[in-house]
Structure 1
Amino acid sequence: MNNSSNLHRSGLILDRRRFLGLSALGISAAALSACGGGPSTSGGGNSGSTVEQIDFSGVKPAKEITFWTSNPGDSIKVSTEIVDAFNSSQSDITVKLVTAGADYEEIAQKFQTAQTGGNLPDIINLSDVWWFRYKMNDQIIPLDSLFEALEFDTDDYVDSLLSDYLYDDAHWAVPWARSTPLFYYNLDHWKKAGLSDQGPQSWEEFGEWTTKLAESSGAKFAFQLPALAGYAGWTLQNNLWGWDSGWSKEESFDITCSSAESVEALSFLKDWVYKDKVAGVAGVDQIQDFAAGVASATVGSTGDLINAITSAKFDVGVAPLPAGPVESERICPTGGSGVGIPKDISPERQLAAGTFIKFLTEPEQAIKFSEATGYVPIRKSADPAAIVKKTPQAQVAIDQLANTRSQDYARVFLPGGDLEMANHMAAILTENKDVQAEMDSLKTALEKIYTDQVKPHI
């Protein structure tokens, strides 16, 4: 396939090679280097990539650097411990940890302000829906030459997590606080309803349990839908995929949110809220509601695992995301955040940043971070035994990694796409608006974002 055929069907489908390069063949940056010539940025001669890697030959790392984070999963304590361990392990580089926002949106706003106001960080915490716009705006660097210069063992990162940051055959971030959604449930309520202590295999099966739970548990709802502003676009991918649809077609910008399958999937959930009255919608945080006993079950991030268990006054059950009536494989989206390096800082600072990122994401630190927060281990060689011993429910998240799928392009590559999804889902689930009409409107909005803001830059 040549470059002229990469975009077709009104320009909405993007050739997989432009996004995933050689990763589909299982070829890592280290493997490419072994083949000669270092990390590839050419897409095998097909993608037309023009990514220019930075040459770090002869560069000496800066003495002091800053790491901006929003402390995902209440990670400030463990992140501080890791930074202190790095600073104590050597005397060449000192890292300063900076809380740059209360959430991903705040840190993104501060980073944008710093582009013109100066005072850029050296390492920044990048959420799944923000890193691509930084790349499009030429604000972060490709990391493959750093991988080579610092001898990162890229083969040891979980493949699906590292490949999430691959575009034009170059990596733009490294996985760090990575997560998947989980199905959380109240084991006490399950017992009262006469259910086994297992989670549901499918959403239809759970639908059969909701009446029993509503009648016996004493909770306000059998199920609490996630707070739409923070979770709708992410977690509902599972429901759409289970009905054989999605916000967009897999690995493309072909928007499919208004398909008959999508409408059926979302109508299924809407009926729980308005027809059966067994489900509610969280206003702020569904895990807080769940832990308080408001609902018998919910869906939340693996990053919420420790908080859910310690906050609840009941035994918390955790299960993989339920399947749909059509699809049962690869129905769980990846999520969370990684770390990247700004472009408009010196090579010395970039090299120092890369040195710390290598330390931050080594197996020992990966396990330490996961044990403290509930985020999934990002390294294959990281032994999860300590995590599982402390929190047995974490095994579910680890096992579920094999069933993950990179998120729909419409959510992670369209600036503001996630907000559009949240707004339209709010109209359906909190205002009882027509599903088909809202999904038609969402499709129009997402296609406009692609045409106006993304297509000119790819």
Structure 2
Amino acid sequence: MKKLFMLLTVLTLFVSALAGCSGGKGSTVKASKEGEKVVVPFINGVGGSLADRVDKIVEVYNKSQDKYVVKTTKAGSYDESYQKLQSGFAANNQEAIALLGSDVIQEYAKKQLIVPIDEYVKNDTNLKKEDYGKGFIEQATIDEKLYGIPFYGTTQIFYYNKKALAENGFTKEDLKTWEGVEKVAKTVAKRGENGNVSYAGWMPMWGTSNLIDAVRSAGGNVLSEDGKKVLIKDDTWVTVWEEFRTWLHEDKIMKIHSGGTGWEYWDKTVIDLVEGRTLGFTGSSGDQGFVFKSLGKGMTEEERLNTFDALPQPAWGNNKPAPKLETYLFTLTRNIDPEVAKGAYDFMKFATSTEKTAEWSMATGYIPVRNNVTEYGPYAEFVKKQPQALVPLEQANNNGVGPFVDPTGGKINDALNVAKDKVEIEGVPAKKALDEAAKVAQEELDKVLKKKK
């Protein structure tokens, strides 16, 4: 769900600040007890109503055993939790468990702010890494060491009005390539007397994620294989981004919401589908609850299930789709008392059990991390009634790729963020916007590479 996406600017500032609190050595973080139970501090960056669901997992865990009690520090979002962690690391009183996104875990590991948990897994006959999805475990593994246990995954998928698609003579097969999406969008899009889009053939979600997914699905990459050259002005990037600019600003077959307060633009996009102003949009796997239950007016849940559906992201031409798969992981921070660390690991196992990952997925739409989740009775019944819930899992297993890890601490992502607004909002030619972004990005990358010499 979009509430969990980190603000790039805040993340950039935070990663830069990590340099001031790096290093794995130091005194043990002070431990405490509540009665006879060892207190296990946990910082939760899941915001909004989902925070309550995490609280419920903590509550059930605390009641399930009498050795540990997990105490939660709440943050309104992941970026807020990262800022709180920064202060904690500096004072050596940070929480034992940190829920981190796979796009920052490498930086934490490099700065020795989190520690591997291999010794716990090795001595545990009840937990096997192969029980978790391969893509999730790969994102938790750095230099062959396991730095976390996957809690859930997220990826961006297609949501669309299957009735409207059929009424216009198309099937879901027509949405399996971007060329097909263009053909459908040109047929179904409508414009008002002023020439503006009144019914969108498709709606990309504002931001770089959709654009980068499309580029990677066309065979492109952000960096060269040796990590020394920024590729964002290459032909593949220009071709893909220019197509989106054309669809939005010249053909006017697509539309995009941007700006506003908080995640207003995202909510507006979902509501446009539900209330009949677009054929479909590209959104988070966590948007399932919004599409099929809550956002928008005039439809019951049953009507929504009969009207809307979901699909994996399409390929570009003859290439294989390559949408980003992002994992959120429970990690163990540095300098934690051994007994507290044992409790932290025990909670991580509990919260990522088949039962708990299934319950979380059914409630949120996020991707379950356990391989055997489809064999779990309640989940199997759930997806029989709502088969679209399996789409994110299908995409993750078949085509999901790890997020781009910015070696500059966010400067390349910042440059892309500026370019995306020029293309999506201002209608600036993609070549011009990407040339400018590439210049800035390459300069920042060169600075990092120079320091490594």
Both proteins in one fold, TM over 0.5: yes
Question: SS in structure 2 opposite 1:332?
Answer: coil
**Could you tell me which residue of structure 2 aligns to residue 187 of structure 1?**
162
Unaligned runs of 5+ in 1: 1-50, 54-58
How many Å separate the matches in 2 of 1:257 and 1:403? 26
Distance apart, 1:419 and its partner CA: 3.3
Question: SS in structure 2 opposite 1:258?
Answer: coil
Question: SS in structure 2 opposite 1:442?
Answer: helix
1:402-417 matches, within 5 Å, as: 402-407=397-402, 409-411=404-406, 414-417=409-412
How many Å separate the matches in 1 of 2:89 and 2:392? 37
Distance apart, 1:398 and its partner CA: 2.1
Distance apart, 1:74 and its partner CA: 4.2
1:234-273 matches, within 5 Å, as: 234-249=209-224, 252=227, 254-273=229-248
**Residue type of the partner of 2:210?**
T
Contact 2:202 2:254 (C-alpha < 8 Å) held by counterparts: yes
The question of 1:104 aligning with 2:78 is answered yes
CA deviations on 1:200-246 (whole Å, 9 max, x unpaired) are: 01011110111222139995422222121xxx1x3333211232212
How many Å separate the matches in 2 of 1:100 and 1:379? 26
Contact 2:42 2:98 (C-alpha < 8 Å) held by counterparts: yes
The question of 1:317 aligning with 2:303 is answered no
The question of 1:366 aligning with 2:357 is answered yes
Contact 1:319 1:396 (C-alpha < 8 Å) held by counterparts: yes
**Could you tell me which residue of structure 1 aligns to residue 146 of structure 2?**
171
**Could you tell me which residue of structure 2 aligns to residue 226 of structure 1?**
205
How many Å separate the matches in 2 of 1:226 and 1:181? 10
Contact 2:185 2:202 (C-alpha < 8 Å) held by counterparts: yes
Distance apart, 1:394 and its partner CA: 1.0
The question of 1:381 aligning with 2:381 is answered no
Distance apart, 1:267 and its partner CA: 0.7
Runs of 4+ in 1 over 6 A off after TM superposition: 59-62
**Relative to 1, partners in 2 of residues 1:405 and 1:457: Cα closer, same or farther, differing over 3 Å?**
farther
The question of 1:116 aligning with 2:90 is answered yes
Percent identity for Structure 1 against Structure 2: 20
- Of 341, 346, 358, 1:350 maps to 341
- Of 275, 280, 283, 1:297 maps to 280
- Output the aligned Cα RMSD: 3.2
The question of 1:326 aligning with 2:336 is answered no
Distance apart, 1:289 and its partner CA: 1.8
How many Å separate the matches in 1 of 2:228 and 2:161? 38
Deviates more, 1:443-452 or 1:347-356: 443-452
Deviates more, 1:81-90 or 1:305-314: 305-314
Question: SS in structure 2 opposite 1:295?
Answer: coil
- Of 417, 422, 438, 1:422 maps to 417
Deviates more, 1:389-398 or 1:299-308: 389-398
Deviates more, 1:429-438 or 1:287-296: 287-296
- Of 379, 386, 393, 1:391 maps to 386
Question: SS in structure 2 opposite 1:223?
Answer: coil
**Relative to 1, partners in 2 of residues 1:250 and 1:128: Cα closer, same or farther, differing over 3 Å?**
farther
How many Å separate the matches in 2 of 1:359 and 1:380? 16
Distance apart, 1:413 and its partner CA: 7.8
How many Å separate the matches in 1 of 2:405 and 2:165? 36
Distance apart, 1:52 and its partner CA: 9.6
**Residue type of the partner of 2:84?**
K
Question: SS in structure 1 opposite 2:201?
Answer: strand
How many Å separate the matches in 1 of 2:410 and 2:118? 25
How many Å separate the matches in 2 of 1:280 and 1:407? 28
How many Å separate the matches in 2 of 1:317 and 1:82? 30
CA deviations on 1:328-377 (whole Å, 9 max, x unpaired) are: 2x522211422212114323322211111111111111111111111111
Contact 2:140 2:146 (C-alpha < 8 Å) held by counterparts: yes
Unaligned runs of 5+ in 2: 1-22, 26-30
With normalisation by structure 1, the TM-score equals 0.78
Distance apart, 1:260 and its partner CA: 0.6
1:16-35 matches, within 5 Å, as: none
**Could you tell me which residue of structure 2 aligns to residue 126 of structure 1?**
100
The question of 1:442 aligning with 2:437 is answered yes
**Relative to 1, partners in 2 of residues 1:408 and 1:98: Cα closer, same or farther, differing over 3 Å?**
closer
Question: SS in structure 2 opposite 1:96?
Answer: strand
How many Å separate the matches in 2 of 1:109 and 1:179? 22
Contact 1:225 1:286 (C-alpha < 8 Å) held by counterparts: no
Number of residue pairs the alignment of both structures matches: 399
Distance apart, 1:424 and its partner CA: 1.6
Contact 1:164 1:406 (C-alpha < 8 Å) held by counterparts: no
**Relative to 1, partners in 2 of residues 1:412 and 1:183: Cα closer, same or farther, differing over 3 Å?**
farther
How many Å separate the matches in 1 of 2:449 and 2:285? 30
Question: SS in structure 2 opposite 1:222?
Answer: coil
Contact 2:139 2:327 (C-alpha < 8 Å) held by counterparts: no
Question: SS in structure 2 opposite 1:98?
Answer: strand
**Relative to 1, partners in 2 of residues 1:457 and 1:425: Cα closer, same or farther, differing over 3 Å?**
same
Distance apart, 1:455 and its partner CA: 7.5
**Could you tell me which residue of structure 2 aligns to residue 45 of structure 1?**
none
**Relative to 1, partners in 2 of residues 1:148 and 1:417: Cα closer, same or farther, differing over 3 Å?**
farther
**Residue type of the partner of 2:395?**
Q
**Could you tell me which residue of structure 1 aligns to residue 113 of structure 2?**
139
How many Å separate the matches in 2 of 1:428 and 1:282? 14
**Residue type of the partner of 1:268?**
E
